Structure 1
Amino acid sequence: MCYARVSSSDQKDDLTRQADRLKAFALGMGVEKPEVVTETGSGMNDKRRKLNRLLSDPTVGTLIVEHRDRLARMNMGLVESALKAQGRRIIVVDDTEPDDDLVRDMTEVLTSFCARLYGRRAAKHRAEKALEAMRDERV
């Protein structure tokens, strides 16, 4: 099973190209009819419906992703360990990431902080709009 993900809907062309590359890779490995699951959503979001379905499906023995961060921005090792304990595995097509653990850890921490910051900003903005709408209705 192949899993392709992009962060936003304006990257639809990237998602198609990613899915095509994964399919070609799987065919090259000898998979007869590779299935590609595509999804749009943040790598920091643990509520990705399609990915959660793949991870919870014991019939999916091998999960192929193009880059580690397409599956998870953080704690990818935990996901790999959990799947390995079930006799399953993840194949990363292009595993070129910083070799330095410290660099990888700092990148993940900064990504997490940015996601939280932007998430809070968006929530604050929505709350301010709701309060403003309530004030307008009173007048």
Structure 2
Amino acid sequence: MAILKPKEMAERLNVTVKTLQIWDKKGTLKAYRTPTNRRYYTEEQYLKYIGQSDKDNRKIAAYARVSTNGQKGDLKNQIDFIREYVNAKGIILDEVVTDIGSGLNYNRPKWNELLDEVMNNQIETIYITYKDRFVRLGYDWFETLCRKHNTEIVVLNNIETSPDQEMVDDIASIVDIFSCRLPGLRKYKSKIANDKSLTDGENNDKDSEEP
């Protein structure tokens, strides 16, 4: 049974610790007490409060992603690897999500649908073969988001399912984005340098500093 501190429970329910104290006194959501009279809550209390008292009702999902349609074979390999793993553990997948799109793209429809399910407390576990299959950048942030909704991401760390070429392409995309911005930044810098009102202002400041 997982134990939650008042602060952790408050964050999950999006309320303040003070609100939890009020609920405890009113009996709305009673806290347990340690031998030293410190309040704590349980995972079961949290699930019951949000309407998911039976944890078995939540789904176990697999998520796999490749960047292009030409990598559908890799997509199948990811799912096969996950299935082999969960079958060996006696785990049944309730949902298999396959996606085609860059790991830098946060607008992948299927990925966002899965995150919506997470935030609706419908997903217990998500299995992925490698972190970058879920998202290329910011994985830790999304893992924390899932954890706050009591969803665990299990990373099987099969590096063979993370194509090197995809990483090269994604890095190239990042470089391209920033390189496209450079001319604009140079132009902006030039405008500032040629703006007489700004240069006059600087000169006036210097004059005012002279004794």
TM-score, with normalisation over the residues of structure 2? 0.46
Is 2:121 aligned against 1:69?
A: no
In the alignment, structure 1 segments of 5+ residues that lack a partner are 97-107, 122-139
Which amino acid is 2:154 matched to?
I
**Across the two proteins, how many residue pairs are aligned to each other?**
109
In structure 2, C-alpha distance between the alignment counterparts of 1:74 and 1:26, rounded to whole Å = 26
Which amino acid is 2:150 matched to?
G
Aligned with 1:64: secondary structure?
Answer: strand
Q: Of the candidates 94, 102, 109, which is equivalent to residue 42 of structure 1?
A: 102
Residues 64, 79 of structure 2: 8 Å contact kept: yes
- 1:29 corresponding residue in structure 2: 89
- 2:173 corresponding residue in structure 1: 115
Identity %: 29
TM-score, with normalisation over the residues of structure 1? 0.68
Spell out the pairing of 1:81-100 with structure 2 (5 A cutoff): 81-94=144-157
- 1:104 corresponding residue in structure 2: none
Deviation at 1:18, TM superposition (A): 1.1
Greater displacement, 59-68 / 28-37: 28-37
The structure 1 segments of at least 4 consecutive aligned residues displaced by more than 6 Å after TM superposition are 118-121
In structure 1, C-alpha distance between the alignment counterparts of 2:93 and 2:171, rounded to whole Å = 40
User: Structure 1 residues 74 and 33, CA, compared in 2 at 3 Å: closer, same or farther?
Assistant: closer
CA-atom RMSD in angstroms: 2.6
Aligned with 2:104: secondary structure?
Answer: coil
Bigger relative CO (Cα 8 Å, ≥ 6 apart): 1
User: Structure 1 residues 86 and 71, CA, compared in 2 at 3 Å: closer, same or farther?
Assistant: same
Is 2:66 aligned against 1:18?
A: no
In structure 1, C-alpha distance between the alignment counterparts of 2:70 and 2:99, rounded to whole Å = 13
Deviation at 1:95, TM superposition (A): 6.6
In the alignment, structure 2 segments of 5+ residues that lack a partner are 1-60, 160-166, 181-211
Which amino acid is 1:75 matched to?
G
1:9-40 residue CA offsets vs partner (Å, 9 max, x unmatched)? 11111111111111111222221345321111
Residues 126, 154 of structure 2: 8 Å contact kept: yes
Greater Cα radius of gyration, structure 1 or 2: 2
Deviation at 1:87, TM superposition (A): 1.1
In structure 2, C-alpha distance between the alignment counterparts of 1:41 and 1:119, rounded to whole Å = 21
Residues 102, 170 of structure 2: 8 Å contact kept: no
Aligned with 2:82: secondary structure?
Answer: helix
In structure 1, C-alpha distance between the alignment counterparts of 2:131 and 2:105, rounded to whole Å = 15
